A and B are shown apart, each in its own frame.
Chain A
Amino acid sequence: MSAEMTPNADPTLGPGDMPALEKAARLPLTPERREEAAATLDGMLALFDALDDVDLGEIAPTNSFDPRWRTLP
């Protein structure tokens, strides 16, 4: 396992990480916007780390699909 793949590697995300994410999202950003978006995204991804502390077992997500055909107005 390389240093980049270890769980303890620094996960901080900066403007330099954005081009690949922009390409994946099909959303190119200017350098100014890239910096701002990187800071916001980094803060959010750090917040989301708390989700890893929950053992989810076989729990399914809340999204659902209703297969019934209904006549809508």
Chain B
Amino acid sequence: MSALADLSLVEVAAKIASGDVSAVEVAQACIARAEATEPELQGYSLLMAEQALQEAKARDEEMASTGPRGPLHGVPVGIKELYDVAGTPTTSSSKVRADWMAETDCASVAQLRAAGAVILGKTHTHEFAYGVATPTSRNPWGDDHIPGGSSGGSGAVVAAGSAYMAMGSDTGGSIRIPAALCGTVGLKPTFGRCSRAGVTSLSWSLDHVGPLTRTVADAAATLNATAGYDPRDPGSVDVPVEDFTAALGRDVKGLRIGVPGNWYFDQVHPEVETAARAALSLLEGEGAVLVEATIPYAEQIMATEFAICLPEASEYHRRMLRATPELYGDDVRVSLEAGEMVPAARYLQALRVRQVMQRAWARMFEGFDVMIAPTVAAPATRRGQETMDWGQGVEEPVIQTFVRYSAPANLMGLPAMSVPCGFSSDGLPVGFQVIGRPFDEATVIRVGDAYERMTEWGARRPPILAAA
């Protein structure tokens, strides 16, 4: 297996820029890794090997004539199935849109190409991003386990080394959940930071786009390429875009970290809690100040998330649900049907509660700079598992187990990044999330990078690479 495929995005970009390797050699390494792992992994819905090699050749020619396009010059990346990539179908991993052809690139893909990236393929999503299992794909750390979702394909291919970065989308945790379950970094930027133009929607009020990567530095480099105002996205916010890589290499001395005393450590897998608290101790040992935090309106978090998401998703699918209902998977179809019958007043009530919660979260954040909590309540569940057994007769739908801790950052629109922080006794990855103030991705990146440099979780390679 090629060691080239095991480098980080930043490392391989530097090698291409210095002429140590060509973009074609890098693309070949990534394609070889994909060909070795995909028969089992199924992270890609569409592997565009020939096209990627042509793009890589063009990047090498550009490098020789005019120099690099940008910081991602020649780097192969994966794109979630929800994103429009010109000339390819945007299926959303659904039979409903099997022939839905994209004529132009979505905003993110255009930005990535402008930065020099090579589009290697499309990655599977849970159908229309409406779920956390991504049943099409496997977890590289355990083929009987889900990769998480909805950006499960992106998590799988990044962890397996068949893409240096893959874009995801996050409505209730769909970047951070697969990142935590697959052992990658996953960054959900602030609502409005990155354009969603050309990306299939699940819930307009909650959708975010962002990268899954092997390192925090890779996430910062990708955010540099994809951040910025776009009037085509009504949620886009016109704020200055800084160089997010400037936050790398710093320490956490004096930084105040909020540690939730409620909600985020309620009903949590003991190995997840142990790993997250160990990470907090490590950061405290490096000079961070831990501050206890109380999550306001915790009892309303899931109600608000679903009372907004359900009707918005159903409205997006209104015509398709009536035209081709039989083409939807059962789980997505029933959610769409139920969502049509949520009273409009309930939806508006949830939007109002969201405002109240936002004010309370702003007050809570006066006491610290970032908050750290487990990304999800448990490691990856088994394929087909529908409920989580918490013992003493307590069972919970798996979707709630994985969305509970990630949804608040969607509701509040805050930047949040999942960072690997250990492994369960079964060898499955565990992650914590750093949640920051609005548009303060820099501090989130600073903390994640500082922790990453103190640990070696990222050096482990998933079992699928030994089997491939």
Contact = CB atoms under 8 A, between A and B. Distances in A.
The answer to whether A and B interact is yes
Interface of A: 18, 21-22, 24-25, 27, 29, 33, 36-37, 40-41, 44-45, 47-51, 53-54, 56, 59-63, 66, 70, 72-73
Interface in B303-346: 303-304, 306-307, 310, 321-322, 330, 333-335, 337-338, 340-342, 346
Contacts of A61: 348, 351-352, 354-355
Nearest to B305: A47
Contacts of A37: 334, 337-338, 341
B250 interface: no
B356 interface: yes
A48 B307 contact: yes
Contact of B356 (A24, A45, A54): A54
A30 B53 CA distance: 50
- Rank and list the top 6 A-B pairs by shortest CB-CB distance, nearest first: A61-B351, A41-B338, A40-B338, A50-B303, A25-B340, A37-B337
A56 B297 CA distance: 12
Given A47-B306, A50-B299, 12 more contacts: A27-B322, A33-B333, A33-B334, A36-B334, A37-B334, A40-B334, A45-B346, A51-B350, A53-B300, A59-B352, A59-B355, A63-B351
B310 A44 contact: yes
Nearest to B358: A62
A60 to B, nearest CB: 7
Contacts of B224: none
B231 interface: yes
A29 B346 CA distance: 22
B204 to A, nearest CB: 9
A13 to B, nearest CB: 9
8 contacts: A18-B341, A22-B341, A44-B306, A45-B342, A47-B306, A49-B303, A51-B350, A56-B353
B152 to A, nearest CB: 22
Nearest to B299: A50
A64 B462 CA distance: 46
Contact of A72 (B232, B297, B340, B353): B232
A29 B303 CA distance: 25
Contacts of A51: 300, 303-304, 307, 346, 349-350, 353
A15 to B, nearest CB: 13
Contacts of B341: 18, 21-22, 24-25, 27, 37, 41
Given A27-B340, A54-B297, A59-B356, A48 B321 contact: no
A41 B341 CA distance: 8
Nearest to A66: B234
Nearest to A54: B353
Contact of B303 (A41, A48, A60, A70): A48
A72 B231 contact: yes
Contacts of A29: 337
B205 interface: yes
Contact of A47 (B205, B302, B349, B353): B302
Contacts of A45: 342, 346
Contact of B355 (A24, A50, A60, A73): A60
Contacts of B350: 48, 51
A22 to B, nearest CB: 8
A27 B340 CA distance: 8
A27 B25 CA distance: 54
Which residue among A36, A54, A60 has the maximum number of chain B CB atoms within 10 Å of its CB?
A54
Contacts of A66: 234
A72 B232 CA distance: 7
A22 B337 CA distance: 9
Nearest to B204: A63
A52 B351 CA distance: 13
Contact of B337 (A27, A49, A62, A70): A27
A59 B359 CA distance: 11
Contacts of B335: 40
Contacts of B348: 61, 63
Interface string B223-255: 000000001101000000000000000000000
Which residue among B297, B300, B330 has the maximum number of chain A CB atoms within 10 Å of its CB?
B300
Contacts of A48: 303, 306-307, 342, 346, 349-350
A26 to B, nearest CB: 8
B352 A50 contact: no
A48 B389 CA distance: 23
B383 to A, nearest CB: 22
A68 B218 CA distance: 37
A62 B354 contact: yes
A45 B342 CA distance: 8
B338 to A, nearest CB: 4
B74 to A, nearest CB: 28
Contacts of A25: 340-341
